[in-house]
Amino acid sequence: MRVVASTVVRESVFGRQETGYVYDVDLDAGTVDSRVPVPAPARPASDANPRGGIRGGRGVAFTPDGIVLATYDTLVHYDDGWQVDDIVESPLFAGLHEIDWDGEVLWVTATAVDALLRIDGREVHVAWDPHGDAAVSLGLPSREPGLLERCQREDAIVPRVDQCHLNGVTRAGESVVVHLGLVRRRSLRDRLGRRLGVAASGESIVVRLNGSPHPQILVRLRGGDLPTHNGQFVATGRIAVNDSTTNTVRIYAAESGAELLAFPMPGTWLRGLEPLGGGRALVGTAPAAVHLVDLATGEIERTVKLGDDPNEAVHGLAAQQI
């Protein structure tokens, strides 16, 4: 099985060292066949966050034309020899995280502007704005209707919000599953509670979109001040979430939202989740490693080590049978 993993080198200094890599891995042999540096972002001054910010690679996906990698603000298209075929940019590309190819179009999460995007060729469309009709049910403020489309049309900078850390997307049948990694509560009571050390008030939410702006809430993880990642179906009726705060993979029942299983992962910076079928999935950690995991037991069946730097963390994962 061929696996592509992207990484972020946290705390790296842009312009002085590589901030992330893309690894081409033979999972069966447990070897790294190639490694290429992640291209520089288009707007390197956009985000100074030292943990990640503009650094490194984000989501990856196999398409019929090759491999697509998300950086902070671009989509980079590679051929099978890791030559860059194309780079796509848009005013809506800010804080890109996970991406998913559904066989026809590419789905992209733009975390810094709280938007789910659909990419058809080089055409970029706003697929869902959580600050629209769904804002009240999700506990988010509304924003100016049509703002994202206007900024795109005028090639203008979209105001950064990141109030729900929309960081994960997968296509499941006729629906789209989206992960809101941290819905940030903005009320005065919540702000005072954080200052006084009261329990965190944020929450992570996994939702399903069925062609309606009103999402079906599948899973809610209440009481967090740091985001979770990669919430998606891993089997019929089962959803997995990477709880990055505790470095724990959590499995939930989609029908009830109840937690069924939780198991810790080694290392830190738990990111990346690629279901393989048969109750197994790939999971990424730091120092950069890819783990093959049995989702029924939490047993790690195989680990492919990518590097030794404790600050290099896997972010995106994609797999293809060869």
59: closest CA among 207, 229, 174?
Answer: 229
Tokens 């490693």 belong to residue: 289
Instruction: Give pTM, 2 decimals.
Output: 0.92
Residue 143's SS3 state is: coil
pLDDT 10s per residue in the chain (322 long)?
999 999 999 877 667 778 899 999 999 999 999 999 999 887 765 555 554 567 899 999 999 999 999 999 999 999 989 999 999 999 999 999 999 999 999 999 999 999 999 999 999 999 999 999 889 889 899 999 999 999 999 999 889 999 999 999 999 778 999 999 999 865 444 544 445 455 557 899 999 998 777 899 999 998 878 899 999 999 999 999 999 999 999 999 999 999 999 999 999 999 999 999 999 999 999 999 999 999 999 999 999 999 999 999 999 999 998 7
Residue 276 CB contacts under 8 Å (≥ 6 apart), including other chains: 1, 282, 292, 319
Chain-centre distance for alpha carbon 67: 17
Q: Is 113 exposed, middle or buried (0-12, 13-18, 19+ CB in 10 A)?
A: buried
Contact 113, 131 (CB under 8 A): no
For the chain, list the domains and their CATH numbers.
2-320 (2.130.10.10)
Alpha helices by DSSP H, 140-232? 147-153, 188-195
Contact 62, 320 (CB under 8 A): yes
